[in-house]
A and B are shown apart, each in its own frame.
Chain A
Amino acid sequence: MTLDTNALLIILTGALIAISCGFLGVFLLLRKMSMTGDAISHAVLPGIVIGFFVSGSQRSLEVIIGAGLLGILSTLMIDALRKKAKVQLDASIGITFTLLFAIGIILINLFAYKVDLDQECVLYGEIAYLPIDLWITPSGLNLGPRITWLAGLNFFLVTGFIYLLFKELSLTSFDEHFSSAIGIPAKGINLALMSMVSYTTVSSFESVGAILVVALLVVPPSTAYLWTKSLIPLLRLTAALGILIAILGYYLAYWIDSSIAGMMVAVAGAFFFGSALIKGNWPLGLRGTSKPSPAFDS
Chain B
Amino acid sequence: MITQVPQPVLEVHDLTVSYDQHPVLWNVDLSLPAGQLIGILGPNGAGKSTLIKSIMGLIPPTSGYIKIFDKPLQEVRTRISYVPQRESVDWNFPASVLDVVVMGTYGKLGLFRRPGKKEVQVAQDALEQVGMTAFANRQISELSGGQQQRVFIARALAQQADLYLMDEPFAGVDMATETAIFQLLQDMARAGKTVLVVHHDIHSAMNFFEWVIMLNLHLVASGPKDQVMTEELLRKTYGGKLNLLTQVTDLIRKQDFNPLKS
Contacts and interface: CB of A to CB of B under 8 A. Distances in A.
Interface of A: 30, 32, 164-168, 170-171, 173-175, 177-184, 225, 228-231, 234
Given A181-B57, A230-B95, A174 B103 contact: yes
B88 A231 contact: no
B111 interface: yes
Contacts of A30: 93-94
A174 B159 contact: no
A171 B92 CA distance: 14
A183 B107 contact: yes
Nearest to B88: A177
Nearest to B109: A167
B82 interface: yes
A260 B220 CA distance: 69
Given A174-B103, A177-B58, A177-B88, 4 more contacts: A166-B114, A180-B56, A180-B57, A182-B106
A287 B142 CA distance: 24
Contacts of A231: 94-95, 99
B88 A182 contact: no
A178 B103 contact: yes
Contacts of B78: 182-183
Interface residues of B, number: 32
Contacts of A234: 94
21 contacts: A30-B93, A30-B94, A32-B90, A164-B112, A165-B111, A166-B114, A171-B106, A174-B93, A174-B100, A175-B103, A178-B89, A181-B56, A182-B107, A184-B111, A228-B94, A229-B94, A229-B141, A230-B94, A230-B96, A231-B94, A231-B95
A183 B75 CA distance: 10
A234 B155 CA distance: 24
Interface in B39-76: 53, 56-58, 74
Contacts of B89: 174-175, 178
Contacts of B109: 167
A90 B115 CA distance: 36
A165 B74 CA distance: 22
B111 A168 contact: yes
Contacts of A181: 56-58, 77, 80, 82, 84
Contacts of A182: 77-78, 82, 106-107, 159
A171 to B, nearest CB: 5
Interface string B212-225: 00000000000000
B124 interface: no
B94 A167 contact: no
**CB-based closest 5 A-B pairs:** A182-B107, A183-B77, A181-B82, A181-B56, A229-B94
A184 B94 CA distance: 20
A170 B92 CA distance: 13
A182 B76 CA distance: 10
Nearest to A168: B111
Contacts of A164: 112
B95 A184 contact: no
Given A164-B112, A165-B112, A229-B139, A180 B107 contact: no
Contacts of A173: 93
A181 B77 CA distance: 7
A38 B245 CA distance: 55
A189 B78 CA distance: 19
Interface in B174-192: none
A177 B82 CA distance: 10
B246 to A, nearest CB: 38
Given A182-B106, A184-B111, A170 B77 contact: no
Contacts of B93: 30, 173-174
A143 to B, nearest CB: 33
Contacts of B141: 229
A173 B89 CA distance: 9
Contact of B107 (A32, A174, A184): A184
Contacts of B106: 167-168, 171, 179, 182, 184
Contact of B58 (A168, A170, A180): A180
